[in-house]
A = this chain, B = another copy of it.
């Protein structure tokens, strides 16, 4: 390898984890850790200062998390590769990261040898994703909650609100002046549109999505 090694920036709030990755990477001739950061703000500064070829970015950080950091990196016209590297396989995080042009999403429970290989592939321009995320990605692409959520009719939104306050079909039917059977029809349609299978899940959805 006569060429200059690829430069890397490690971003993780756990010093021990940074050390583990660093030690792993330093065994490789073609990879070099040029900087570390323990939070998103430092990461932005380091990125600007060192302009690394690739940033390995933990998502779960206090203050500025990985997704936010990625967003700001892109806004700052950072042109290197960014690999998300986290323990969480939350669908939202994965899809958000990919939408923000992350160059990959790796889970921390992978084997060290795999990480090195994935880093090289990412530096080569490939999109690298942990195999364990296939299911997550598949479900994300299927029409589910967030996609159809706002397609709820006015009536259905009323009903959902009442579900989320704990009412039964009979109660909310009385309150709305409709029969229990009709209430059930609305509930059924809500469940279909939200992609859930019980009024309880619908209620959780409603409570988590602001109203």
- List A residues at the B interface (Cβ < 8 Å): 13-24, 60, 87, 108-112, 115, 163-166, 168, 196, 198-201, 203-204, 207-208
In the complex, what residue of chain B is closest to A203 when comparing beta carbons? Answer: B200
Copies in the complex: 2
- Known contacts: A87-B14, A207-B207. The answer to whether A163 contacts B19 by CB under 8 A is no
In the complex, what residue of chain B is closest to A110 when comparing beta carbons? Answer: B15
Chain B residues with CB below 8 A from A19, complex form: 20, 23-24, 112
Do residues A115 and B16 form an inter-chain contact, with CB atoms below 8 A?
A: yes
Q: Is the interface of A mostly helix, strand, loop or mixed?
A: helix
Chain B proximity of A48: nearest CB distance (Å): 24
Do residues A112 and B198 form an inter-chain contact, with CB atoms below 8 A?
A: no
Do residues B15 and A112 form an inter-chain contact, with CB atoms below 8 A?
A: yes
* Contact residue among B17, B196, B198 (Cβ-Cβ distance under 8 Å from A16): B17
Do residues A15 and B111 form an inter-chain contact, with CB atoms below 8 A?
A: yes
User: Which 10 A-B pairs give the minimum distances between C-beta atoms?
Assistant: A20-B20, A166-B201, A19-B20, A16-B20, A14-B108, A23-B23, A166-B204, A166-B200, A207-B207, A15-B112
Do residues A14 and B204 form an inter-chain contact, with CB atoms below 8 A?
A: no
* Contact residue among B17, B166, B196 (Cβ-Cβ distance under 8 Å from A108): B17
